[in-house]
Amino acid sequence: MTPTPAPEVAELCAELIRFDTSNFGPEGSRGERDAAEWVAEKLDEVGIASELYESAPRRTSVVAHWEPEGCDKSLPPLLIHGHTDVVPAMASDWQVDPFAGEIRDGCVWGRGAVDMKDFDAMVLAVVRDRQRSGRAPRRPIRLVFTADEEAAGHYGAHYLVEKHPDTVADCTEAIGEVGGFSVTVRDDLRLYLIQTAEKGLAWLNLIASGTAGHGSMRNSDNAVTTLASAVSRIGNHKWPPRLHPAQLGFLHAVEDALGVTVEADSAEETLARLGTIARMVGATMGNTATPTMLRAGYKHNVIPGEAIAGLDGRFVPGAEEEFFETLAELLGDLVRYEIVAKQDAVEAEFAGHLVDAMRSCIEDEDPQGKAVPFLMSGGTDAKAWSKLGINCYGFAPLKLPADLDFVAMFHGVDERVPVESLEFGTRVLDAFLDKA
């Protein structure tokens, strides 16, 4: 009988959740060093050496080169990456302590259960089991567990790429979050969404300058009014559809499964029966620009000389130039922008040996499953790895109950992952390492 790594995966996930690795952005993070040391210890227990890389005090990532006897060292290594940090959680909003790693009702509960300590645990369970049983992967593996992904990765993946590119430079392909989870579209069909692309990111400050003065006076050069008009134009702008091949691949699969036609301007309504995945799809039908912050003035009776708004912009691969051109038109001549953070869109082809391996492993484990590509609206560490020419895929396989609102679990309250889904994922990943 083929060995299975499934038995320890739930406990590994729960143990990792118990490290409070909340990432507060510029204010710093908790627990990343402790979690990194724990990961390194779990690898060391089975004879896999790793190195810790610290970009700043306690902002720690783990890198291991796993090249056991029996793997084909003539092949380029496969990068398997996950992050150990999580977004903060307000404990009073939860049914359970978000950092207790509680296992109940068939699920592992806690912050990070789906983003993404579940995948970290699956990878550790598979690698540890294969190492113990002497089952080498088909090719060398680079295992990377990063800090700081939840705050754009400057202290994690981007730090490794910029300061220690040799850790992964010989890799040509990678798997990580967000993808591989199932969406039930019919009683006899589950689509497993493989992320092959993600939108680019542009966080901007919109700045209007005007003439400061007394609030009781008329003022035709009011920075607040000028900025408010620009923010309103941007917030109400209807961006035209820009359908990426990954988006089209997903939409065609859904159309075939449901017997419907998905129109670009009504995708969310048409796909509503699929749950909150419809919102994710709707967000990737084209570019978006969402006003998120406003800041101006310090007193009711003082007209400020400057007003600032924050904007979260996302652009489809290939549509960055259009995004900035349209933004400039909407801002007009009286409002300028400054770039706070910008990251490129990334994309990989849904074809080739690695994709074939994903397809076959999903379908072997779930005969009613079908792997399809999708474009994600958010960002991952793939934005860093792609700078080195690495083709990145979101492949953290989970067979999910049809009634579980999985997308809402990302950064949500009562985040949890079914134990059966974790065990399914380890079986798929285990088979995948024989074929990848």
The model's pLDDT over 334-351, given as tens digits with 9 standing for 90+, comes to: 999 999 989 999 999 999
> What kind of fold does domain 200-241+286-344 have according to CATH?
Alpha-Beta Plaits (3.30.70)
Q: Which fold has domain 6-196+346-435?
A: Aminopeptidase (3.40.630)
pLDDT (average), residues 168-178: 96
Which pLDDT tens digit goes with each residue over 368-415? 999 999 999 989 999 999 999 999 999 999 999 999 988 889 999 999
Give, rounded to a whole angstrom, the gap between the first and last alpha carbons of the chain. Answer: 22
3-state secondary structure of 155: coil
User: CB 151: neighbour CB atoms within 10 A?
Assistant: 19
346-347 and 78-83 as β-strands: parallel, antiparallel, unpaired? unpaired
Q: Does residue 278 or residue 306 have the better pLDDT?
A: 306
Contacts 24+ apart (CB under 8 A), 2-5: 3/129, 3/133, 3/135, 4/129, 4/426, 4/427, 4/430, 5/125, 5/126, 5/128, 5/129, 5/130, 5/426, 5/427, 5/430
The answer for residues whose C-beta is within 8 angstroms of residue 266's C-beta and 6 or more apart is none
Is the predicted pLDDT of residue 4 greater than 70, yes or no? Answer: no
Output the pTM of the full model: 0.93
The residue with tokens 């700045």 is 207
Q: Distance (Å, rounded) from C-alpha 154 to C-alpha 146?
A: 10
Give residue-wise pLDDT tens across range 45-87: 999 999 999 999 999 999 999 999 999 999 999 999 999 999 9
Q: Which two tokens stand for residue 57?
A: 């005090």
pLDDT reading at 10 higher than 60: yes
CA angle 36, 37, 39 (to 5 degrees): 65
- pLDDT score at 283: 86
Q: Where are the domains of the chain?
A: 6-196+346-435, 200-241+286-344
Q: Higher-confidence residue: 284 or 109?
A: 109
Q: How far apart are CA 39 and CA 243, in angstroms?
A: 39
Rounded to whole angstroms, the Cα distance separating 117 from 127 reads: 15
Q: In this model, does residue 103 exceed pLDDT 80?
A: yes
Contact 435, 361 (CB under 8 A): yes
The pairing of strands 391-394 and 173-176 is: parallel
